[in-house]
């Protein structure tokens, strides 16, 4: 084999090693999905299950996932950096809410209470000192869309006072980059339900919601 041929083979092998099925070359608008790790002695968090399943479920869209610990420092420390890096067109936060319904949150409130999974209370009762009392979702949603025939998908003006609300409020604030559509969706707790069964029920809802906002 000549030196030229050897060099060419080396370059081909390097290129092949840089290309992997886990890191495909993606194109299309970026959608950032945030989710949470388990909390309150739960083994799983349905928000993480659905977020990970969405990675493979939206052809033509770059779905990026940010999974956070249920800690008060997490949203402000990690979300702005990820948004600036990815510059998503759509940002949707996911979390576990009430049993039996999917709630598309419309309002984030500037307050927070309770210890996080590390046993730490929030440093301040306000999510953002000097921020407005509330911020409203910029995600398009209409209950008439009937995103699911199996479970109610409703609108809510109360995202709670825990980490879901804090992340939602942070996402609607100054992330250092403009994000066209920002929202938050509460899913029913996954409990002991199989990952595939759970994602099969809720991924289609998120898929259509995302597609309507692109």
Q: Lowest-confidence range among 21-35, 69-83, 164-178? A: 21-35
Contact 75, 175 (CB under 8 A): no
Where do we find the tokens 């249920």? 70
Give the span between the Cα atoms of 151 and 155, in whole angstroms: 13
Q: What is the pLDDT of residues 51-106, one digit of tens each?
A: 999 998 788 899 999 999 999 999 999 999 999 999 999 999 999 999 999 999 99
CATH class of 28-213: alpha beta
Question: What pTM was computed for the model?
Answer: 0.86
Q: What is the largest CA-CA distance in the chain?
A: 72
| b/e per residue 160-174 (b: at least 16 CB within 10 A) | bbbbbbbbbbbbbbe
Q: What is the pLDDT of residues 106-131, one digit of tens each?
A: 999 999 999 999 999 999 999 999 99
Tell me the two tokens of residue 37: 């790790």
The total of other beta-carbon atoms located within 10 Å of residue 192's CB is 9
């Amino acid at each position: 084999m000549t030196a030229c041929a050897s060099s060419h083979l080396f370059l081909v092998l390097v290129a092949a090693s840089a290309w992997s099925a886990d890191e495909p070359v993606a194109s299309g608008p970026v959608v950032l999905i945030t989710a949470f790790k388990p909390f309150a002695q739960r083994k799983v968090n349905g928000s993480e299950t659905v977020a990970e399943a969405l990675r493979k479920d939206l052809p033509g869209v770059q779905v990026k996932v940010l999974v956070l610990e249920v800690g008060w420092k997490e949203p402000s420390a990690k979300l702005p950096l990820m948004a600036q890096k990815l510059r998503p067109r759509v940002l949707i936060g996911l979390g576990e809410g009430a049993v039996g319904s999917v709630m598309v949150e419309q309002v984030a409130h500037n307050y927070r209470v309770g210890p996080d999974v590390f046993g730490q209370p929030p440093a301040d009762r306000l999510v953002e000192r000097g921020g407005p009392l509330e911020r409203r979702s910029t995600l398009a949603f209409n209950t008439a869309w009937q995103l699911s025939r199996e479970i109610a998908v409703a609108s809510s003006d109360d995202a709670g006072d825990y980490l879901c609300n804090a992340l939602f409020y942070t996402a609607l604030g100054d992330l250092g980059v403009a994000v066209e559509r920002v929202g938050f969706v509460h899913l029913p707790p996954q409990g002991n339900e199989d990952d595939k069964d759970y994602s099969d029920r809720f991924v289609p809802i998120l898929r259509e919601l995302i597609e309507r906002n692109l």
